Amino acid sequence: MLNQYSSTNAKSGVYLIKPDQYPDPLQAYCDHNTTSGGWTTTCDNPNDCVIPVDLDICLCPENYMVLGDICIPQEQCGCYVQWEGVLEESESYINSDCSLRITCNSNILTSESYSCSADATREKRNDVRRCYCNEWLEGDGLTCTRNGPRDCSDLYTADKRNNGKYTIYPSESLGFEVYCEMSCGGWTVSMNYWKTNA
């Protein structure tokens, strides 16, 4: 367990701290002038001064951070993003309004514009915020392509159980309207007619 002292606008110096599980407070030097950002920093939150509860462990030298109970070079920590956590190398996340993709490249955060396809919605699923293609479409949310329904049975399988008119997209067609008989498992009722010149 670690106690933290926020480095925001903090000055270097000796602070009276009380780490969890310690009966009495103790004095600790917190250095906010170094690039490490404080007493020692962790990969999980490099912007805060972190005081180890177990004061018998070694503190990390400058440009190193704590990962678990060892010190590793700062460049191996990935990129810290406030409120989001740590991004591993080449990992990215989408900001809250889905307008930017932020990526960790060589421990530097880079951003690029990001916008959803007209056939996608912005949302968070399984703790991942991004653009997701709408129903019957597939893709990465930036580009979505039609993936059904090919026929009435696809609709039936997707719990569309009312008899009526539906648009289907067989064999990469632009789609056309049909009547689906759903009471018997999703039959397509279609009609062909030819106009003849007399």
User: What is the CB-side half-sphere exposure of residue 77 using CA atoms within 13 A?
Assistant: 27
Asked whether residue 33 is domain-assigned, the answer is: yes
**70 and 7 in a common domain:** yes
**How many domains does the chain contain in total?**
3
Same domain, 41 and 91: no
- Identify whether residues 106 and 154 lie together within a single domain: no
Give the E-state strand segments of 31-175 in sequence order.
48-52, 64-67, 70-73, 79-81, 85-87, 92-94, 100-105, 108-113, 120-125, 128-133, 137-139, 144-146, 164-168
For residue 43, the SS3 value is: coil
Q: Are residues 55 and 87 in the same domain?
A: no
Per-residue model confidence as pLDDT tens digits over 83-130: 677 788 888 888 888 899 999 988 888 999 999 999 999 998 898 889
Whether the bond into 46 is cis, omega within 30 of 0? no
List pLDDT tens digits, range 145-176: 888 898 888 899 888 889 988 888 887 778 88
126 in any annotated domain: no
The domain boundary residue, chosen from 57, 91, 113: 113
Residue 22: inside a domain: yes
Based on the fold, state whether residues 25 and 48 are members of the same structural domain.
Answer: yes
| Whole-number pLDDT of residue 97 | 85
- Clarify whether residues 6 and 72 are in a common domain: yes
Phi, psi angles (nearest 5°) of residue 42 = -115, 155
Range of the domain at 105: 81-113
Question: Higher model confidence: residue 34 or residue 98?
Answer: 98
107 and 68 in a single domain? The answer is: no
Assigned domain for 44 exists: yes
In a domain, 95, yes or no: yes
pLDDT bracket for residue 7 (50, 70, 90): very low
132, 96 Cβ separation under 8 angstroms: no
